[in-house]
Amino acid sequence: MSELRGESFVGYTRVSGTESCGEGVNPVTGETLSPTYFRAPEEAVERAVLLAESAFPEYAGISGSERAGFLRAIASRLEAAVEEIAVRGPSETGLPEARMRGETGRTCGQLRMFAHLIEEGSWVDARIDRAQPDRQPLPKADLRSMLVPVGPVAVFCASNFPLAFSVAGGDTASALAAGCPVVVIAHEAHPGLAEIAGRAVIEAAQETGMPEGVFSLLYGGGRNIGKEVVTHPAIKAVGFTGSRAGGSALMAMAASRPEPIPVFAEMSSINPLVILPGALAKGEEALAEAYFGSLTMGVGQFCTNPGLVFLPAEGGDAFLGRLAELVAAAPAGTMLHEGILRSYQKGCSQIAEVAGVETLARGVEGAGAVPVVHVVSAADFLDSSELQAEVFGPAAVIVRGSTAETTEAIRALEGQLTCTLHATPEELSEEKELVAALRGRCGRLLFGGFPTGVEVCPSMVHGGPFPATSDGRSSSVGTLAIGRFCRQVAWQSFPDAALPAELQEANPLGIRRTEG
């Protein structure tokens, strides 16, 4: 295993500093982990962004197959480091070794998915409208358009997915696939994992001959280093997964620049789950057991954690009884870091103080996050905005009311990543207003099942109306994610030889095109 050095990567150069930004901390034992990490000096941050800017024309101009080779090399390097990840990951995050290995596989799968996409080439959405010089009353010019990369992208690592949504995760993979150099801001909760992944990317870039500056990794925290990077005029877009407060701050920062830039932030979601009588009739206790598994999976530290359940006012007693039994016996769980635990405890206390809220069950008291489920009427839920706030962890609010009240409550919700409906096919057909309300509030609508577990595939939408994301038209998972870091450009009346290969008349790349 390679020694961790606590340094930033500025292009192909390792850079240290004089100002400590801390060490990794084992959330189970409280032990600090070596090495100490140092804040990237101001001049290093500037150099990282300028290197990205200078690398952009060359990197954007190389072929899709060359960029695909780079992405596959990153995946291979990460796989070669999996034993190191399996040791460092649990000590930094409290997540089990199996999760670290699984997340490594997911990260490599994302990289290879984008490699296949850009190697095939049709993702650029090439559109061709040929000239009609004899058209009356006016001739039509030759017009051809396609997606092109926007420029250097800033990526902020997520605390809850230290690999799949961090240094070499989905934002980085989709930006690099699009042709955008990336400047990553490491998360302070897992600095060692960030260094391992950053080293893999740098080595892959050197191995495949990518221009220096295609990737940099900076330590120093999102509030400090992040501001310097996001406000730099060379940065053209931002990818972020984290809190609503953090994402909103980045949005304001990016919007206030002389040249505003887009921020693609995944922020806040309580992922409502609606249970209708027909679903209860199929087996309340089994449904409660499945729901409990989803609620407490990974100590509830998933952005798709189903923290809000709508249950009929009549019936459901067996569901609630079994859920209460499971929650009461559940132990406290170790969260990723102390800050998340404090926020969870504060959120649970605030919910318990809301008028009309009763505690259905609370888990076994311990040093970590204690699972808890509250119950409230639909009328009291609608009177309280506090009950719509995300509590990141194994906590849930169950709302009891009629289908009409549930529909009204869903319409009053903020945007969500997911909405789930447990019902019979007949109820699905009968409750069209409820289904429409659910669809209007989310990016992914589930019939049955549970939202935890996000498939990485072309049809996945991991996004949703604000505040689930800053832009509900986008997805941070699946091949749709590449579009966040692109813009459309049209070429009018250009000589064929001067057009990008994707738009040339002979279609030398053999891609799918829309032709008129």
Structural domain range at position 358: 272-447
Q: Is residue 1 part of a domain?
A: no
- The tens place of each residue's pLDDT in the chain, 516 residues long, gives 679 999 999 999 999 999 999 999 999 999 999 999 999 999 999 999 999 999 999 999 999 999 999 999 999 999 999 999 999 999 999 999 999 999 999 999 999 999 999 999 999 999 999 999 999 999 999 999 999 999 999 999 999 999 999 999 999 999 999 999 999 999 999 999 999 999 999 999 999 999 999 999 999 987 889 999 999 999 999 999 999 999 999 999 999 999 999 999 999 999 999 999 999 999 999 999 999 999 999 999 999 999 999 999 999 999 999 999 999 999 999 999 999 999 999 999 999 999 999 999 999 999 999 999 999 999 999 999 889 999 999 999 999 999 999 999 999 999 999 999 999 999 999 999 999 999 999 999 999 999 999 999 999 999 999 999 999 999 999 999 999 999 999 999 999 999 999 999 999 999 999 998
Residues 247 and 350 placed together within one structural domain of the fold: no
| Nearest in space to 397 (alpha carbons), one of 435, 359, 453, 346 | 359
Structure tokens at 389: 């706030």
Domain shared by 256 and 300, yes or no: no
Describe the crossing of helices 64-80 and 191-207 by its angle, rounded to 10 degrees: 140
Strand-pairing partners, residue 309, are 273, 398
- Note whether residue 138 is domain-resident: no
Give how many domains the chain has, as a whole number.
Answer: 2
CATH code of the domain covering residue 358:
3.40.309.10
Give the separation between CA 464 and CA 417, rounded to whole angstroms. Answer: 5
Residue 192 lies in a domain: yes
Q: pTM score > 0.85 for this model?
A: yes
Euclidean distance between CA atoms 228 and 198, whole angstroms: 20
**232 in the same domain as 324:** no
Q: Let me know whether 230 and 378 are in one domain.
A: no
Rounded to whole angstroms, how far apart are CA atoms 244 and 36?
29
Which positions are annotated as active-site residues?
Answer: 266, 303
Residue 84 lies in a domain: yes
Q: With residue 22 as reference, give the H or E element that holds it.
A: strand 20-25
What are the phi and psi torsion angles at 421 (to 5°)?
-125, 120
